[in-house]
Amino acid sequence: MWERTLTVNGFSKAFAMTGWRLGYLAAPKHFVSACGKIQSQYTSGASSISQKAGLAALNLGYAGGEAVSTMVKAFQERRDYLVRSFGELSGVKISEPQGAFYLFIDFSSYYGSEVEGFGTIKDSESLCMFLLEKAQVALVPGDAFGDDKGVRISYAAAMSTLETAMGKIKEAMALLTPPVAV
């Protein structure tokens, strides 16, 4: 079975090392060699600091599993809070993510709303600009992901930060005209 097994993993999600750009591959030598040739053309490799951090994460052993379990629980609580809170906004559609720490929220029912002193909410980019200006909350326009109906928000932040952000988003959304039926 070893000759047919590939294990690919990373540190971003399990060890909250987003941005460290560190992952690994365990596979038969011929496959690792081929992957190494391809990888060497794309990047010069992981930084020594990222490598040391990854090693430290792996060396946590069982304690690493406990730390990951604690993080997973915290992320689930944050996700559930945001799903519930965005669900309270009229006309907003949301599905509960099963993996990463982002929500993709469909705000398209608000497109076409006029906002005094801002203009028209035309798309995900203008909605994000509106929320940045009026709520001081940064979201990512959905058109960056190929779906202009929604916006992305990360819940990789403290619960208190998310609660503050959600309060500001709700206040800003109250400035918009009522959503159209979709």
User: Which of 48-52, 129-133, 176-180 has the lowest average pLDDT?
Assistant: 176-180
Higher-pLDDT residue of 178, 111: 111
Question: For residue 154, how many other CB atoms are within 10 A of its CB?
Answer: 16
Q: Please, which pLDDT band fits residue 82 given cuts at 50, 70 and 90?
A: very high
Mean pLDDT confidence for 53-62: 85
CATH class of 69-173: alpha beta
State how far the Cα of 73 lies from the Cα of 70, in Å rounded to an integer: 5
Q: What stretch of H or E contains 163?
A: helix 159-173
Report field, pTM of the whole predicted structure over 0.75: no
Q: Is the pLDDT of residue 182 over 90?
A: no
The token duo for 82 is: 């945001």
State how far the Cα of 1 lies from the Cα of 7, in Å rounded to an integer: 12
Per DSSP, the three-state class of 98 is coil
Closest CA to 159 of 69, 82, 68: 82
For CATH 3.90.1150.10, the residue range(s) in the chain are 69-173
pLDDT at 180: 58
For 119: left if phi > 0, alpha if psi spans -120 to 50, otherwise beta; the answer is left
Intra-chain end-to-end CA distance of the chain, in Å: 51
- Which segment, 19-28, 53-62, 89-98, 135-144, is predicted with the most confidence on average? 135-144
Concatenating the DSSP letter of every residue in 118-156 gives TEE--SHHHHHHHHHHHH----EEGGGGT-TTEEEEE--
Residue type, 87: G
The token duo for 111 is: 């497109």
Mean pLDDT confidence for 71-87: 93
Rounding to the nearest 10 degrees, give the CA dihedral for residues 32, 37, 38, 44: 110
Closest CA to 127 of 147, 145, 142: 142
Residue type, 100: A
Mean pLDDT confidence for 129-134: 96
Q: Please, which pLDDT band fits residue 17 given cuts at 50, 70 and 90?
A: confident
pLDDT at 31: 93
